[in-house]
Amino acid sequence: MDIFLQQVLNGLVLGSVYALVALGYTMVYGILGLINFAHGEVVMIGAMVALTVLNGLAGAAIGAPPQVVIAAALAAAIAVCMGLSFSIERVAYRPLRRAPRLAPLITAIGVSILLQNIAMLIWGRQYHTFPRLLPPTPHNIAGATITDLQIGIMVVCAVIMGGLLVLVQRTRLGRAMRATAENPTVAGLMGVNINRIISATFVIGAAMGAVAGVLVAANYSIAHYSMGFTLGLKAFTAAVLGGIGNLGGAMLGGLLLGLIESIGAGYIGDLTGGFLGSHYQDVFAFLVLITVLVFRPTGLMGERVAERA
Amino acid sequence: MGFWRQRVTAWKRDRRVLWLGYVLVALALALLPFAIDTTIGRTWVRVLDFALLYVMLALGLNIVVGFAGLLDLGYIAFYAVGAYTWALLASPQLGLHLPFWMILPLGAGLAALFGVLLGAPTLRLRGDYLAIVTLGFGEIIRIFLNNLDHPVNITNGPIGINRIDPISVVGFELTRTHEIFGITFSGAHLHYYVFLLAALASIFICIRLEDSRIGRAWIAIREDEIAAQSMGINTRNVKLLAFAMGATFGGVAGGLFSSFQGFVSPESFILLESIMVLCMVVLGGMGHVAGVVLGALLLATLPEVLRHTASPVQQQLFGEVILDPESLRMLLFGLALILVMLLRPAGLWPSPTRKREFADAERQATGRTGAAATG
Amino acid sequence: MDIERHGVTRRVLAAVCSVAVAAVLGACGKKEEQPATTDGTTSALERVVKIGHAGPLTGPIAHLGKDNENGVRLAIEEANAAGLVIGGEKIRFELISEDDEANPQKGTVVAQKLVDAKVAGVIGHLNSGTTIPASKIYHDAGIPQISPSATNVDYTHQGFKTAFRVMANDAQQGKVLGEYAVKKLGAKKIAVIDDRSAYGKGLADQFEAAAKTAGAQIITREFTDTTKTDFTAILTSIKGKRPDLIFYGGMDSQAGPMMKQIKNLGVRAIYLAGDGVQTTQFLTLAGPEGESAYASSPGVPLDKMPGGKEFAEKYQKRFNQPIQLYAPYAYDAMNAMIEAMKAADSVDPAKYLPALASIQYQGVTGLVQFDEKGDIKGGSISLYQVKNNKWEYLETVG
């Protein structure tokens, strides 16, 4: 039983991160109908910037308390990612808003390649060790172990997601975002500055991406210029699983995907008597996705998209 | 101006001029590898070989994405199916050595079957949902190829299959260097002709398809599925046909790839390859055969051109190599994708109708971008 | 309609123009290479010999590709500084390094490019998947190729006289590790993980076979892939089966995070891995959690070899970073090739190839000597354990 609980915990930690990144995809998709392929790279840049700041401050040895150092790193990562995402939208997506729908997809791929290679030039090709943010003391919960950092990841993710929901549902900006997602032309006529709202969406998504990047790098103590691609892909899958364009869906999809991967990889070998093994972990995830979509073609919570279709 | 145009139209009407044109083009294509070999090196013959394979792939994907409007992010899976069919049936791996005229249709057929297998459960899906399912499908195929070495060894897993038989006709093996009428043909040259024939056949089929009943049905579905359905088009069958047809092209190209390389491993069929082929289609001009061919040729050769020029150009400009050629190559490639799309959002060479539609949309400037995505 | 046609013509024209520009650029590139061969700063008697290197210089394992390139570069720079005279001519080596992106198709294009550039020999490629298809092209052109890191047995078993490797193949290393795990470390129940790369799978398969023969029980075989950093699911599953030893066939960049997760999950088992993990990178990535892990490396430890320690220092000084993984092998491969050229007193591939096949060269990784297939002969394998965040040499086996 403790093994099962452990797998659930593993899945929740992994899923929280997927969910946080998936929100970035889903927000942009909800408003623009665009798969922002470069989002994974923004996440990577977040991790890399934080790494540089952490190492820089540790190297400078100014004797600042660790909390301050971490806060500074996080702030820098968020600021850089926000600026980056803002410029990406302005340069690569905005001019194409009325273009055929696949055109921005290709620029997104171009941006992704560009960012990856710029990161390679800046931070080099090697894997970097991400400094320890919290001591790895394992806690015991009913036979399963979890570290402070992992608890931290889940808490941070929950807080950010909750904050985002409040933002979208309760604030003026949130209302403008929802209106733009519903119908940008009408929203524009109603006095919503669509360009600003779209920029805001990108910037908020990027901030969450930056946080996710730092958390992922800290959890696995590793950062590399190509780390964003796979993570982005998984998060995107999660967003679709939940129903892309829907915030709740992204969270649900992320957590679900984390659990499926964890439990799938943990038990598939035993269940099939060793015929299939943990190498089919991703197959399992994609099969669940396909099955869900066959029965609910708009994802688990994606009614709004269905209306539009 | 008017005078010249009249002369040109008169020329065009003349059948003799037309035939002369065909002969000249055929001659140029036949001599191309030799011209390349002697001027800029044999590497480029090989680059051209792969470019022709990409032409086939892009044309196949164009049927699915360009004609039928179904966004497919896992197209490379069919290439993989074709390649592995050939590899398994003509190599020491399973001890089978079937002749190419049996394997190639088999690979194409199998790819088509996989196309239907992918298409069937996804008929109800639209736009980006379809994209992620096809992406997943592509990954599933790759993961299976990478793992079917255990418990029973079929694909040899990540190690790949080596010593695959080349195309050979009565002992004439295409991978060897041959002397014919005193002219030396290397493997790269010989494959160029085979690939060229296959690519030309693909182009011909695509052009014919576009103007056929099925082609128009695809385009109708792309423009408005519900309207197409109410016009009496069996959308299910027509969509499945698009998947199957597109996959067939991939399967054939995969088989040819396998025989040319003599080695296949799952590394050749990663997601990035699917994305590359999609870029070729979109960059060239979705739905327009000539544009897609242009896109494929450009994107397949561009990284190689950059590879050859990145260092020397830097040396000339700055007197030293500041950025590694390989980083610069990918930087410029990413930049090129962005710039081309910003300057020509409908692709480098869009079809005339598509271009008009785009201009209309620009003029009206109404509606959300998403409307086009889901409509 | 007319306007439309006009537009098309214009676009065709534009396309033709851009192709022409590209061709001119390409031609410039060609021209640029030629003056470099008869550089003004060098004396008239000097002969430039081009050496090819190929490996992934972009993408997720670019750091390893660059590492190999650096190894070759160092050997070449030293040889140039020493001022070699071969065949009565002063020789200056020039390195042409190509990025094969770890993609088999690009691998053959790059190979052809090196052949076109008339290289005298090639050090590469890194992955077995690119090395094998490329080896045919080098073979057809008669150019000797030494791979510093491809471990797939098939590479040297194609009957190509031009294909060599200085790295023990999977079969050799896996066997030693399997026996060591059972006989020396006393493991009875073993869990095996591999990363589904050609390297990881090959090593894990051989390890599994050898461990079974030695009398251990393989209780589970788990898999991950080279892009993953989360191994908690498979590790938890392994934990439930209580193995004495976990064997990992894969690279350091994953073994590092894996080690941390093993400790966090409280899995108590000996950790053993191959040469892909016996790196300084692993030590920094795993941190204190890497303590007491075991790993092997072909050959004798670098600091025990004559010139080994100096090599590590030279490398650090020249490239301002520590050795990543296979640089010493790339360095030895290049030096062995140079040695063969000296022995044959020729840089002509056809002439020095026989000398290379029968070479006996004492490199920094051990004695470079090839068997009739081109595999390195009698590769001994050393074992190491992490103690105080350092790899400590244990013993040399085989």
For C126-174, write each residue's pLDDT tens digit.
988 899 999 999 999 999 999 998 888 888 988 999 999 988 777 788 8
Geometric angle at alpha carbon B303, from B73 and A96, rounded to 5°:
55
Residues 122-181 of A with CB under 8 A from B: none
Put simply, whether C58 touches A (Cβ < 8 Å) is: yes
> When comparing pLDDT for C243 and B358, which is higher?
C243
pLDDT digits (tens, 9 = 90+) for A246-267: 888 999 999 999 999 999 888 8
Contact B129 A299 (CB under 8 A): yes
Query: Over chain B, what is the mean pLDDT?
Result: 86
Number of H helices, E strands in chain A: 12, 4
E strand or H helix at B32: helix B15-39
Q: How far apart are CA C343 and CA C177, in angstroms?
A: 36
Beta bridge partner(s), residue C92? C48
Put simply, whether C288 touches A (Cβ < 8 Å) is: no
The residue-averaged pLDDT of B341-365 equals 75
Test the A interface: residue of C229, C238, C279, C321 with most A CBs within 10 Å: C229
Which residues, 6+ apart, have CB-to-CB distance to C186 below 8 Å?
C244
Contact C233 A125 (CB under 8 A): no
Q: Identify the band that residue B363 occupies on the pLDDT scale cut at 50, 70 and 90.
A: low
Q: Are B97 and B165 in contact (CB under 8 A)?
A: yes
Least confident of A105-119, A264-278, C88-102: A264-278
Of B136, B334, B365, the CB nearest to A110: B334
Chain B positions touching A112 (Cβ under 8 A) are 334
Dihedral angle sign, alpha carbons of residues A160, A161, A164, A170: negative
Sheet with C84-86, edge to edge strand ranges: C84-86, C89-99, C46-55, C121-124, C145-147, C163-165
Q: How far apart are CA A153 and CA A158, in angstroms?
A: 8
Strand A128-129 and strand A222-223: pairing?
antiparallel
- Residue C277, judged by CB atoms within 10 A of its CB (0-12, 13-18, 19+), counts as buried
Peptide bond into A139 cis (omega under 30): no
pLDDT at C27: 43
Q: Are B65 and B101 in contact (CB under 8 A)?
A: no
Token pair, residue A124, equals 């080099």
Q: Are C381 and C393 in contact (CB under 8 A)?
A: no
Q: How far apart are CA A26 and CA C85, in angstroms?
A: 65
Q: Are A244 and A25 in contact (CB under 8 A)?
A: yes
pLDDT at B329: 79
Test the C interface: residue of B139, B162, B189 with most C CBs within 10 Å: B162
Contact A109 B275 (CB under 8 A): yes
Put simply, whether A183 touches B (Cβ < 8 Å) is: yes
E strand or H helix at A53: helix A39-60
Q: How far apart are CA C212 and CA C218, in angstroms?
A: 7
Q: Identify the band that residue A107 occupies on the pLDDT scale cut at 50, 70 and 90.
A: very high
Token pair, residue C134, equals 């490329």
- Residue C13, judged by CB atoms within 10 A of its CB (0-12, 13-18, 19+), counts as exposed
Reduced 3-state DSSP string for chain C: CHHHHHHHHHHHHHHHHHHHHHHHHHHHHHHHHHHHHCCCCCCCCEEEEEEEEEECCCCCCHHHHHHHHHHHHHHHHHHHHHCEEECCEEEEEEEEEEECCCCHHHHHHHHHHHHHCCCCEEEECCCHHHHHHHHHHHHHHCCCEEECCCCCHHHHHCCCCCEEECCCCHHHHHHHHHHHHHHHCCCCEEEEEECCCHHHHHHHHHHHHHHHHCCCEEEEEEECCCCCCCCHHHHHHHHCCCCCEEEEECCHHHHHHHHHHHHHCCCCCEEEECCCCCCHHHHHHHHHHHCCCEEEEECCCHHHCCCHHHHHHHHHHHHCCCCCCCHHHHHHHHHHHHHHHHHHCCCCHHHHHHHHHCCCEEECCEEECECCCCCECCCCEEEEEEECCEEEEEEEEC
> Could you tell me the pTM of the whole model?
0.88
The residue-averaged pLDDT of B85-105 equals 92
Contact C281 A267 (CB under 8 A): no
The residue-averaged pLDDT of A189-215 equals 94
Count how many Cα atoms sit within 13 Å of the Cα of residue C362 in the half-sphere of its side chain.
5
Neighbouring chains of B at 3+ CB pairs under 8 Å are: A, C
Q: How far does C63 lie from chain A, in Å, by closest CA?
A: 5
Chain A positions touching B151 (Cβ under 8 A) are 274-275
Of C2, C116, C132, the CB nearest to B263: C132
Would you give the DSSP letter of residue B29?
H
> When comparing pLDDT for B50 and B14, which is higher?
B50
pLDDT at C21: 45
Chain A positions touching B285 (Cβ under 8 A) are none
Contact A293 B125 (CB under 8 A): yes
Put simply, whether C98 touches B (Cβ < 8 Å) is: yes
pLDDT digits (tens, 9 = 90+) for C31-63: 334 444 444 444 556 899 999 999 999 887 888
Please report, in angstroms and rounded to a whole number, the separation of the first and last CA atoms in chain B: 43
Q: How far apart are CA A73 and CA A52, in angstroms?
A: 8
Q: How far apart are CA A114 and CA A111, in angstroms?
A: 5
Rg of chain B over all Cα atoms, to the nearest angstrom: 22
Q: How far apart are CA C246 and CA C207, in angstroms?
A: 11
Residues 263-302 of C with CB under 8 A from B: none
Taking the mean position of all CA atoms in its chain, how far away is CA B323? 31
Contact B43 C113 (CB under 8 A): yes
Q: Strand locations in A161-247, DSSP E?
A: 222-223
Which residues, 6+ apart, have CB-to-CB distance to B83 below 8 Å?
B107, B254, B255, B257, B258, B264, B268, B269
Task: Provide the 10 A C-beta neighbour count for residue C361.
Answer: 19
| Phi-psi domain of B95 (left: phi exceeds 0; alpha: psi -120 through 50; beta: other) | left
Chain B positions touching A286 (Cβ under 8 A) are 136-137, 139-140
Dihedral angle sign, alpha carbons of residues C115, C118, C121, C127: negative
**Residue B364 pLDDT exceeds 80:** no
Test the C interface: residue of B32, B36, B45, B46 with most C CBs within 10 Å: B46
Put simply, whether C390 touches B (Cβ < 8 Å) is: no
Polymer length in residues for chain C: 398
Chain C positions touching A269 (Cβ under 8 A) are 220-222, 237
Collect the ranges in chain C with pLDDT lower than 50.
1-42
Q: Are B86 and B271 in contact (CB under 8 A)?
A: no
Closest C-alpha to C2, from A226, B2, B315: B2
Closest C-alpha to A181, from A34, A296, A23, A18: A34
Chain B positions touching C139 (Cβ under 8 A) are none
Q: How far apart are CA C142 and CA C121, in angstroms?
A: 9
Put simply, whether C225 touches A (Cβ < 8 Å) is: yes
Put simply, whether A107 touches B (Cβ < 8 Å) is: yes
Residue type for position C237: S
Q: Tokens 């061709």 map to which residue?
A: C23
Q: Looking at chain B, which residue has its C-alpha nearest residue A118?
A: B331
Token pair, residue C24, equals 């001119």
pLDDT digits (tens, 9 = 90+) for A282-301: 888 888 888 888 888 788 88
Alpha helices in B185-234 (DSSP H): 187-210, 213-223, 225-230
Strand C270-273 and strand C294-298: pairing?
parallel
pLDDT at A289: 84
Contact A277 C221 (CB under 8 A): yes
Put simply, whether C52 touches B (Cβ < 8 Å) is: no
Contact B158 C113 (CB under 8 A): no
pLDDT at C34: 40
Q: What DSSP line would sit under A271-285, residue for residue?
A: HTTTSS-GGGHHHHH
Q: Are A29 and A35 in contact (CB under 8 A)?
A: yes
Contact B365 A113 (CB under 8 A): no
Of B257, B262, B329, the CB nearest to C136: B262
Which residues, 6+ apart, have CB-to-CB distance to A293 below 8 Å?
A240, A241, A299, B122, B125, B129, B133
pLDDT digits (tens, 9 = 90+) for B214-241: 999 999 998 888 899 998 999 999 999 9
pLDDT at A303: 59
pLDDT at B91: 92
Give the CA-trace dihedral at B215, B240, A107, B80, to 10 degrees.
Answer: -120
Neighbouring chains of C at 3+ CB pairs under 8 Å are: A, B
Contact C132 B313 (CB under 8 A): no
Put simply, whether C88 touches A (Cβ < 8 Å) is: no
Chain A positions touching B271 (Cβ under 8 A) are 233
Test the B interface: residue of C4, C11, C126, C140 with most B CBs within 10 Å: C11
Q: Are C237 and A266 in contact (CB under 8 A)?
A: yes
The residue-averaged pLDDT of B304-318 equals 79
Token pair, residue B52, equals 């022709």
pLDDT at C359: 93
pLDDT digits (tens, 9 = 90+) for B104-140: 999 999 999 999 999 888 888 877 788 888 988 999 9
Would you give the DSSP letter of residue A134?
S
Closest C-alpha to C226, from C260, C195, C204: C195
Tell me the CA distances in angstroms from B154 to B185, B269, C208, one per residue in order. Answer: 35, 17, 19
pLDDT at C142: 94
Q: Tokens 């592509």 map to which residue?
A: B138
Q: Identify the band that residue B339 occupies on the pLDDT scale cut at 50, 70 and 90.
A: very high
Q: What DSSP line would sit under B221-264, residue for residue?
A: HHH-HHHHHHTT--HHHHHHHHHHHHHHHHHHHHHHHHHHHSEE
E strand or H helix at A132: none
Q: Tokens 């022709």 map to which residue?
A: B52
